[in-house]
Amino acid sequence: MSSGTEKDIEVKDTTEEHSDNSENTAKSDSMSKGEAKKFYEEKGLDLSPDVPVKPKPVPIFEKSLADKISSKFGDKIRVDYVRADRIRVTTKREDIVDVAKFIRDELKYDHAESVSGVDYPDSSEIEVIYHLGSYTDEKLGRQIFALATRVPREDIPNPGSDTTRTPSLRDVFYSVEFHERECFEMFGVYFEGHPDMRRLLLPEDWADIPPFRKDFKIKGR
């Protein structure tokens, strides 16, 4: 087992993490950061964000939900943000099943809307985000709970046989079944404990790397 599996998620301040990402992504592209800056300057564009940073008040109801989960798990989870109708929580992959069970049983979220993978080649990680919603609880109708975890990423992927794996939430939320299959073929994240981890959308004879990773380039772009 490589050291990558043991690597913990670095708990950072949100703004720091994002600025890290932006620098790294610019580097990872075909042009370096300096080139990119030059490219945008030539076009008369600035690289500063367009969005004016406005502090928004933290909504009370969402805050109470976030407090509930952080008081239960403490250090194991990190609340990334609490906004109107949206909460995002990051956890380590070892704890994700427990956290998911708590979210289902105590917070009354009952289904998954989507399972997204996001590839971060620079920190050598793939983020898996479960967007959870609720049909049964009237108050949670407009809420989306984003539960994220990070799995190590290998430069030469071998889907299913490498360290890019995480426990499946299929037994907790039945509705993630096909979403996890899609995430497996598109990012190479193997979900342990999933009963039917086959390809879904890609053809049977697909022999390239998982196509939604950042190092899979579209031709002509």
Positions that interact with another protein (CB under 8 A): 15, 18-19, 21-22, 25-26, 43, 45, 47, 49-54, 85-86, 88, 110-114, 116, 118-119, 129, 131, 135-136, 141-142, 144, 146, 159-161, 173-179, 182, 184-185, 190, 197-203, 211-212, 216, 218, 221
Q: Judge whether 86 and 62 are in contact, CB under 8 Å.
A: yes
CA distances from 27 to 88, 147, 152, 170 (A): 27, 28, 20, 36
State the nearest-atom distance from the C-beta of 220 to another protein, in Å: 10
| SS3 assignment, position 113 | strand
Nearer residue to another protein within complex by CB, 75 or 221? 221
Angle, helix 14-28 to helix 33-42, in steps of 10 degrees: 90
Nearer residue to another protein within complex by CB, 70 or 175? 175
State the nearest-atom distance from the C-beta of 136 to another protein, in Å: 6
State the nearest-atom distance from the C-beta of 79 to another protein, in Å: 14
Nearer residue to another protein within complex by CB, 79 or 118? 118
State the nearest-atom distance from the C-beta of 31 to another protein, in Å: 12
Tokens of 11: 């708990």
Nearer residue to another protein within complex by CB, 58 or 201? 201
- Separation of alpha carbons 28 and 41, rounded Å: 19
Picking from 11, 188, 196, 178, the residue whose alpha carbon sits closest to that of residue 91 is 11
State the nearest-atom distance from the C-beta of 176 to another protein, in Å: 8
Q: What residue type is 138 in one-letter code?
A: E
